[in-house]
Homo-oligomer: A and B are copies of this chain.
């Protein structure tokens, strides 16, 4: 039994060690990296599509997309203007890990970018447990998912730095108790930075991109 526990610890340590290596590599190259997480369909790729055109001329951006299958998301990121878009197909894995990001970094000339957006596998559970080495964890929640998600997925909601609340254009058509949602967030993560927005209408997207540009500038100043 002690032997089996040791194996599990080694796996976790390996991921954390590789995540630290990824971080060092990004820091050395001056690339700010974000880990974008969400349920399937909350709007990670749509957010990237809305974000990239607003960063043109301000930041050089690479996108790494993690999915079980297909390159649909990387195709969309490339079409939206990413200077580089890399798709990781995890096979069956329900999250990205530091090894996968390392492999993607190997395919990028980091000197050419200011910002790396890593789009994790759509999943509100597993990605929260695997550090990648990124600087900022961003969760995309969405109105149609329902107001109870912070209460039911505390691991994800408590561990992120930024909360994007997407699809606010659907508020008139859905019973979403904003107070109940905010209460769940407040208990778990009172310092999270929140951006309500709609990737469909564009409402609120510039608050997010303006903040992001500022955040990268702060990082670049060291």
Contacts and interface: CB of A to CB of B under 8 A. Distances in A.
Interface of A: 4, 7, 39-41, 67-70, 72-73, 92-94, 121-126, 129, 142, 144-146, 148-149, 151-155, 167, 169-170, 173-175, 200
Given A39-B122, A122-B124, A152 B68 contact: yes
A52 B151 CA distance: 24
Contacts of A146: 40-41
Nearest to A39: B40
A62 B176 CA distance: 27
Contacts of A151: 69-70, 72
Contact of A152 (B122, B125, B148, B149): B122
Q: Which 9 A-B pairs have the closest CB atoms?
A: A41-B145, A144-B144, A94-B125, A39-B40, A41-B146, A40-B124, A70-B151, A39-B39, A94-B126
Given A68-B152, A72-B148, A122-B153, 13 more contacts: A4-B7, A39-B122, A41-B144, A41-B145, A41-B146, A68-B154, A69-B154, A72-B152, A92-B155, A94-B94, A123-B125, A170-B170, A174-B200
Contacts of A41: 39, 142, 144-146, 149
A93 B123 CA distance: 12
A121 B123 CA distance: 11
A153 B40 contact: yes
Q: How many copies of this kind of chain does the complex include?
A: 2
A124 B123 contact: yes
Contacts of A72: 148, 151-152
A167 B153 CA distance: 22
A40 B145 contact: yes
A201 to B, nearest CB: 11
14 contacts: A39-B40, A40-B145, A40-B146, A40-B152, A41-B142, A68-B125, A68-B152, A69-B154, A72-B148, A72-B152, A121-B125, A144-B167, A144-B170, A170-B173
Contacts of A152: 40, 67-70, 72-73, 122
